[in-house]
Chains A and B, each alone.
Chain A
Amino acid sequence: MLKELGRGLLTTFKMVIDGPVTTQYPEEKREVRPRFRGRHVLKRYENGLEKCIGCSLCAAACPADAIFVEASENSDEERFSPGERYASTYEINMLRCIFCGFCEDACPTEAIVLGDNYELSFTDRHDAIYTKDTLLEAVPSPEMTTPQTVEPGVYTRSVPEMKDPQD
């Protein structure tokens, strides 16, 4: 009996020596895993053009019907993305989204990527609908903002040459 009782005391005391495992959340944050599926980000090419071509494949793949895309025509004077069309409206309802990542899989241009931001909060149901402005990646430098005026005949191909994904 004494042996068992002593072992119980030792077990808990070992925890004191090992120290707490708590992460003090708002102050210190844990690194997310490489494949973590957080808030979506709409990516850009290096020259600032949007990768999204407004094809709505993500909306079609979405099992929760959280994505709404509306496409418009590109022109060489007002170019948002390579190819014919771009997404003039891109909305994700974060209350519906289940973070399955199917949109990421469906995207032909790797435009939509699930990032590592998991701190989503809103106080209103309307705030839960993330628009293109919030989702779109920031431009690397101010002169690369879309729409851009480009030389005609350069950006004819809407889907880029793809490589095998590296994780």
Chain B
Amino acid sequence: MDWTVWLEWAIKALVLVFTLLIGFGYLTYYERRFLALLQSRLGPNRAGPQGLMQWMADAVKLIFKEELTPAKAYKLVFFLAPVITMVPSIVIAAVIPWGPSVNLFGRDITQSVANINVGVLYLMSIASIAVYGIVLAGWSSNNKYAMMGGLRSSAQMISYELTLGLSMVMVILLGNSMSLVEIVEAQRNGWFILFQPVGAIIFWIATVAEVNRHPFDMPEAEQEIVAGYHTEYSGMKFALFFMAEYQKMIVVSAILATLFLGGYLGPGVDSFPWLGPLYMFIKIFILLGIMIWVRASWPRIRYDRLMALGWKILLPLALAVVFITAVGILLAQEVNPWLMWLTPILSLFAGWIATLMVDRTIRRKNYA
């Protein structure tokens, strides 16, 4: 293999890692400022112009903080857990295509670190690894709150991973491929959110639960279990958990944009390939904004209801919608292409029935 290929990979990986790290810094800033606006406040605006250097101040503070290791913690695992959480959150971004391939120095360069033909499977498998770090952190801290947080987190992530997988199946059916680049290219005729709106919503709910964000931030429910799995962590180890959480936010938004919102596609992206990352950025920015908006608006749902929602509502709904998608594609191929539009109509109907069922359950008087 040519050495320039290695060089290309190394440069692309470095760029991706640094983009994610800087993105993490500015995501915390974005979240704090936007959350403040949603709460009639201003948010941090002192460090640097409009507070743009706030993340640097936070980083310096976290680096210089004293690191405590509980005396009865399992030291090795306690040390490794943040790393195990952190690494997948960066590695998972490797398969996401950030734009069409560009011609640089006489060679075609794809704007993704690795364009593998089973990209969706890769996403699923790496997303599941992250839960190990959280469980190990909870267990090795030797603290009952941390343990509870870790257990909750693992139960929640495993439950919602099924739904996540099923909504990815819809995309695989629609795109007729597992490669993320081909899935994006298949959306030239229309974003998959148009064909499968319910799938996109299910996917979004499942990813919010995957990254432990509001309203599904059970593992970190302060009122119940202190800070959950990272109760005993401080200083840079805590910062790693923090980074992992925010990078996962960025990455799942990128995945959602890729799978349902046309990825890097947008007007003029074919003639100017560098617009691809810009479109991705805009889509990710809006999706992150929605996550923050939801955080400011909705209360955290109770743990048993979270599990009930995952197993009793979302999973059957996702199964039904996968079936509807498959039927819609089959009908479109065999009978008439216009029958493709049966998919969104029928799945919206299924989603409506699901919300009705949730409504009925909530309104039941003796529902504890």
Partner of A15, one of B38, B294, B355, B362: B38
In the complex, per-residue mask of A1-42: 1 if CB is within 8 Å of any chain B CB, else 0: 110010011011101101111101000000000000000000
Contact B293 A15 (CB under 8 A): no
Contact A5 B38 (CB under 8 A): no
Partner of A8, one of B37, B41, B297: B297
Contact A9 B294 (CB under 8 A): yes
A1 to B301, CA, bound (A): 13
A22 to B362, CA, bound (A): 38
* Chain A residues whose C-beta falls within 8 Å of the C-beta of B121 in the assembled complex: none
Minimum CB–CB distance from B94 to chain A (whole Å) comes to 34
Q: How many residues of A contact B (CB 8 A)?
A: 16
Partner of A18, one of B40, B42, B294: B40
Contact A2 B297 (CB under 8 A): no
A1 to B355, CA, bound (A): 7
Q: Is the interface of A mostly helix, strand, loop or mixed?
A: helix
Partner of A20, one of B42, B298, B355: B42
In the complex, per-residue mask of B287-312: 1 if CB is within 8 Å of any chain A CB, else 0: 00000011011100000000000000
A18 to B38, CA, bound (A): 10
In the complex, per-residue mask of B5-45: 1 if CB is within 8 Å of any chain A CB, else 0: 00000000000000000000000000000001111111000
Contact A15 B37 (CB under 8 A): yes
In the complex, per-residue mask of B42-74: 1 if CB is within 8 Å of any chain A CB, else 0: 100000000000000000000000000000000
Interface centre among B40, B294, B298, B358 (most CB of A within 10 A): B40
Contact A1 B359 (CB under 8 A): yes
Minimum CB–CB distance from A30 to chain B (whole Å) comes to 15
Chain B residues proximal to chain A, CB less than 8 Å: 36-42, 293-294, 296-298, 355, 358-359, 362
